[in-house]
Amino acid sequence: MLISVEEIKKALTDLPGWEIKDGSLYRRFVFHDFVQAFGFMTEVALVAERSNHHPDWRNSYRTVEVWLSTHEAGGISKKDILLAVAMQRLSLKTDQNTSH
């Protein structure tokens, strides 16, 4: 089930660095090196698998770009917000440069 633009904007106030881009929640994470970026992706993969909600993402050396949307719902849902919150928490756990 999709959530409203107002609900998304409210959630984004607690998710620094996240924005709405091309109909998805988007964030660019920049880590110290490739190992930290890949470690972050590995931890997120475990959370995503448990929740059966998987991100669209790409990795280039120390950068991880993420787009979250619920394809079967046709946009941004509560699942995307929950995964973004988990990713935010995991990124803070990793020694990360805060470049967006």
pLDDT 10s digits, 46-88? 999 999 999 999 999 999 999 999 998 999 999 999 999 999 9
Q: Catalytic annotation on 32?
A: no
Identify whether 53 is a catalytic site residue. Answer: yes
Q: How confident is the model at residue 19 (pLDDT cuts 50, 70, 90)?
A: very high
Q: Judge whether 19 counts as a catalytic residue.
A: no
Class of domain 5-97 (CATH, top level): alpha beta
Active-site pick, 33, 54, 56, 100: 54
Instruction: Looking at 1-100, list the stretches that DSSP marks H as alpha helix, in order from N- to C-terminal side.
Output: 5-12, 34-51, 78-93
The answer to whether 40 touches 31, Cβ cutoff 8 Å, is yes
Residue 80 among the catalytic residues: yes
- Residue 96: predicted pLDDT: 53
- % residues pLDDT > 70 (the chain): 94
Position 98 pLDDT exceeds 60: no
Cα distance between residue 62 and residue 74, in whole Å: 30
Active site residue 95: no
Indicate whether 39 pLDDT > 90. Answer: yes
